Structure 1
Amino acid sequence: MPQHSNASLFVWFRILFNCRFYYPVFTILFLDLGLSIGEFAALNVVWALTSVVLEVPSGALADRYGRRPLVVAAGILMVLEMAVLCLMQPGHHDLVLWLFVANRVLSGAAEACASGADEALAYDSLPEAERSTLWPQIMARLSRGMALGFVVSSIVGSVLYDPHSVAAMLRFMGLNADVAKTTTMKLPLLLCLGTAALCLVVTLRMTEARTPTPKMPMLQSMREAWGSILQTGGWMWRTRAAFALIVFGLVFDSMIRLFLTVASNFYRLVGIEEGWYGVIGTGVSLLGLVTAGWMETSARVMNVRQNFLWLGLVVLGGLLAAAHPQPGWAGVALVVPLFLSMRFLQFFLSHYLNEIVDSAQRATALSFRGLTINLAYGTLTLLFGWQTGWVGGRLHLSADDPRVFAESLKLWPWWFAGTVVLAGGWVLLRSFSTAKDEHSGGESRH
């Protein structure tokens, strides 16, 4: 049946789209190709801005004209973004920089097309009466699949990136040959190009779950799409539960994701060699297999406030550990909760938001979630770039110096705690000011 087919294909799509072989060495890939920390931060802002500009319009288009075309477009864009990365030539700074700009634009566009559309397609394919039961099971299955995917991609990607590991493998196979770093740097990228092609095949096998809106003149189509965006945005602004999920989601996600983005830099800071990065990713992924069942249990036995409270404490503890790094494996072990917290956050946001949003505007609402999260991440990445420049100037060191990175981490727990308090205050103020509106309009839809 299409219901079960779409749900299974959705799991495969997310795994292939997100489990990338270059993620264990993401930050150092930029640096080893000759870019600076400042350029790295700016390129991630380019990615976030692209995603922000396209995020909600793509969700509105998916709601009106079908979710499958947007998911297929995401698969095509992923192939293109990985093809651009494979063209990288170390030692040619300007060429590398502009290829990365193209890659970040294509990647942001792919993220925007997938965000909302893939989840809405899978969710609405399920029997309506069973969605609240089946969706947590599918998300738990996705978490387990992602965990296994990250096991494979983390080990393979980090090992292939390290020329010493590749040379050791060749010697084991009876081939006594050294491999240049410029060659091994591209191996994870080429593998990602292969998984991107598989991801595209998966999207082409998906089937539309809803009857798309009939075609109409372009001007009318654009007017109605923007009307749908404004209507959904207004509902999310007025509805307390949706507003709170979006606000706390962007605060949590931006901080966690910023640390995950620079995780390879943190490993270098505590003295872990590149060849071990995949082992770390594997360990975290294996823990993800164990914790997948905890997500369903948390959603069943605790309410949304309790789940976000304990998750916030876990994130704060991980950031404090990063701010005071211990050398070697002890330092890595103490920040593992940050990696696991992202899985729980994504599960909670998907579970609670899908429960309250109307099917006709599901992709648009989920795209608003992606829009705010990516906007917050891009802003925080830009602030991180400024922060390293300021700290470097204060310490009279280059912004790329590891001591600057270590000093920058000390401010992160306080930033997270402060933004959580501000978010909580904003949600309370909005709750008092919009309770009447929600009673008369927002909740009548459910």
Structure 2
Amino acid sequence: MSARQARFRFLLLIALRWLPVGLTIPVLVLLPLERGLTIAQAGMVGAVQGFVVLILELPTGGLADALGRRPVLLAAGVINLVALAVMCVADSVALFALGWLLQGVYRALDSGPLDSWYVDQALAADPDADIESGLSHSSVVLSLAIAGTALVSGGLVWLGPIGPMSALTVPVVLALALSGVSTLAVALLMSEERPALGGGATTGDGGPVRGRAALAASLRGVPTAIASALGVVRRSRVVFALIIVEVFWSFGMVTFEKLMPVRLSEVMGDPDSAAALMGPVSSAGWAASAAGAALIPLLVRRIGGPWAGFAMRIALGLGIVGMGLLAGPVGVITGFLFTYAAHGASSPIHMSLLHRQAEGEYRTSLLSLNSMVGQPGFSVGSIMLTAIAQSVSVSAAIVVGAVVLAVAAPLYLVRPTFREPIDGGTTPASALTPGGI
């Protein structure tokens, strides 16, 4: 497979992966309320996903590195189908909690393997492959997929119920069908050659282990993959800096994911009108995110990845401040769209810098660790910033979140003294580099 073919398959799989998400984003919070749950109960069952992801993120990343990206993504797809099926019929706290629990398992399994598969395939075909552009284009595709199906979801709800299905259930049913297509595409389009089945284990005659023995050998390799990822963070000050950036970033994301609707309601003086406006505004935000991701390769080529990351993190902070301080709906929405453009540009830079530090078969474990630390960062941000919003003001909470997010920008400029080996071995003197990521 050529690097170009790997990129095409990667982008197609990304689109299929996120189309169902756009359908469910506008309705999954409202669906439990329609079926009799209180707002507090809906918030409680929704939190189950975050806790499950926090617990499973790193072990599942290790599983992908040990067993392979394709089988883990196939398992994730099947679990997602079950989760969405549960959501379609759930009518109690217990069933909604089960649905979100399964969604958490799915998100943990799904986090990292597809990106890692693309990078490994592209670099195997061409060691000089431009993975930054591929990852940037994936952010564009992701954003456009969500923006498009979010509008479709709103249209389906506007059309009303279909037979026995309520209007809010229809997008979830369609998401279930599209998720089936996505899982089938993974089975057909992903090809993967592991160095040796079962993490390198062999039989008595020296052949590779297969069947149940291969699965057992792969599972035994999970702790090694996890330990290797943690070892890279411990040895590499660049990787450690990127992980800390992710924590601060996730803290600040609370401003535009949770506080934006509150801020818009505040300036409009009408919660119902603000809620109606958030649908198209969110879709426009994802389109702005796609535009930011599409333009970022030009900036990276001009000033380099670390400085581009620094610039985009400062721009993101300024956009959030605008969202919190600009007057009127137009000012708030302008700040929101600028924020999403900078957010979309920041993501491929961050992931490219992390990929460049994560060479070898344990790449997914390091990506999962990066994703995992974002969970407590977002949770702490939710608690602290909502408390500030209630006790001081929504604007004050948004500005605090912007400052926390932007203060980590200089960490992108940390320079390595050498590239640490992924397996924890000794780095020869010839591996020393003059710096830069």
Task: Place the TM-score, normalised by the shorter chain, in its bin.
Answer: 0.7 to 0.9
Match of 1:413 among 399, 402, 406: 399
Counterpart residue number, 2:232: 235
Deviation string, structure 1 residues 97-141 (Cα, Å, up to 9, x no partner)? 323322221111111111121111111111437355431232233
Residue 248 of structure 1: how far off its partner (Å)? 0.5
Task: After superposition, give the CA deviation of every residue in 1:200-225 in whole Å (9 maximum; x if it has no partner).
Answer: 11121121143332445888755542
Contact 1:319 1:335 in 2 (8 A): yes
Query: What is the alpha-carbon distance in structure 1 between the residues aligned to residue 274 and residue 57 of structure 2?
Result: 37
Residue 324 of structure 1 deviates from its aligned partner by 3.6
Q: Deviations over 1:170-211 (max 9, x none)?
A: xxxxxxxx9999821212222211221111111211211433
Report which structure shows greater RCO (CA 8 Å, sep ≥6). 1
Structure-2 separation of matches of 1:427 and 1:290: 22
Residues 30-41 of structure 1: matches in 2 within 5 Å?
Answer: 35=37, 38-41=40-43
Answer yes or no: is the 8 Å Cα contact 1:86–1:186 preserved in 2: yes
Equivalent residue for 1:279?
280
Report deviation, 1:158.
2.2
Q: Where do 5+ consecutive residues of structure 1 fail to align?
A: 90-94, 168-177, 396-406
CA contact (8 A) 2:254 2:382 kept: no
Q: Which residue of 2 aligns with 1:204?
A: 187
- Cα distance in structure 2, aligned partners of 1:264 and 1:295: 28
2:159 matched residue in structure 1: 166
The offset of 1:443, in angstroms, is 5.9
TM-score (norm 1): 0.78
Conservation of the 8 A alpha-carbon contact between 1:238 and 1:442: no
CA contact (8 A) 1:140 1:292 kept: yes
Query: Quick check: 1:152 aligned with 2:148?
Result: yes
Deviations 1:260-319 (A, max 9, x none): 255555554445455544432343344345333321112222234422332222222232
Q: Output the CA distance in 2 between the equivalents of 1:152 and 1:426.
A: 35
Task: Report the counterpart of residue 59 of structure 2 in structure 1.
Answer: 57
Q: Is the 8 A contact 1:37 1:385 kept in 2?
A: no
For residues 419 and 86 of structure 1, the distance between their equivalents in structure 2, rounded to whole angstroms, comes to: 37
Q: Aligned pair 1:101/2:97, yes or no?
A: yes
Cα deviation, residue 154, structure 1:
2.0
Q: How many residues align?
A: 408
Aligned residue for 1:174?
none
Give SS of 1:360's match: coil
Distance 1:192 1:58 in 2: 24
Cα 1:43/1:188, change in 2 over 3 Å: same
- Give the percent of matched residue pairs that are identical in Structure 1 and Structure 2: 17
- State the distance in 1 between where 2:224 and 2:327 align: 53
Q: Check conservation: 2:236, 2:420, Cα contact below 8 A.
A: yes
Letter in 1 for 2:233: M
SS at match of 1:359: coil
More helix by share: 1
CA deviation string 1:43-80 (max 9, x = no partner): 44421221122111111121122111111112112212
Structure 1 vs Structure 2 CA RMSD = 3.7
Q: Distance in 1 between matches of 2:81 and 2:174?
A: 11
Cα distance, 1:239 vs structure 2: 0.4
Report the equivalent of 1:402.
none
Distance in 1 between residues matched to 2:60 and 2:282, nearest whole Å? 32
Which letter does structure 2 place at the counterpart of 1:371? M
Letter of the 1:60 partner, please give it: G
The answer for the alignment partner of 1:141 in structure 2 is 137
Which amino acid is 1:256 matched to? M
Helix, strand or coil: the match of 1:410?
helix
Q: Is the 8 A contact 2:3 2:125 kept in 1?
A: no
Q: What residue is the counterpart of 2:14 in the other structure?
A: 14
Residue in structure 2 matching 1:118, options 110, 114, 120:
114
Separation of aligned partners in 1, 2:123 and 2:411: 36
Query: Are 1:253 and 2:254 counterparts?
Result: no
Aligned equivalents of 1:443, 1:409: Cα separation in 2? 49
* 2:126 alignment partner, SS class: helix
Distance 2:247 2:175 in 1: 28
